[in-house]
């Protein structure tokens, strides 16, 4: 059994995905159109560096080039509607 100090990501845990993560994932899918579990599976399959590059591309505003916040419906810099 892994110790808590051996866990780097939730998917390293034998309880993955646990009830807490499933609840968080459902809320983020519903409210923000993204999945914590999909993100973790992507990290597990392709690595953290690839995930970070994909997310930077995904969350860069096409209008002003700034990073957009998943919790906002529009870019806080220029107002571009992202969802």
Please state, in angstroms and rounded to a whole number, the distance separating the CA atoms of residues 22 and 77. Answer: 32
Tokens 């002003």, located at residue: 64
Q: Which domain holds residue 16?
A: 7-46
Instruction: Report the number of distinct structural domains present in the chain.
Output: 1
Q: pLDDT digits over 27-83, tens only? A: 999 999 999 999 999 999 999 999 999 999 999 999 999 999 999 999 999 999 987
In a domain, 22, yes or no: yes
In a domain, 42, yes or no: yes
- 73 within some domain: no
**Does 72 map to a domain?**
no
Are 74 and 81 spatial neighbours (Cβ–Cβ below 8 Å)? Answer: yes
**Residue 41 falls inside a structural domain:** yes
pTM (2 decimals)? 0.83
Position 11 pLDDT exceeds 90: yes
């Amino acid at each position: 059994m892994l110790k808590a100090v051996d866990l780097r990501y939730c998917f390293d845990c034998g309880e993955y995905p646990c009830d807490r993560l499933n609840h968080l994932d459902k809320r983020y899918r519903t409210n923000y159109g993204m999945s914590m579990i999909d993100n973790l599976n992507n990290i597990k399959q392709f690595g953290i560096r690839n995930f970070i590059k994909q997310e930077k591309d995904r969350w860069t505003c096409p209008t002003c080039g700034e990073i957009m916040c998943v919790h906002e419906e529009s870019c806080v810099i220029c107002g571009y509607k992202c969802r």
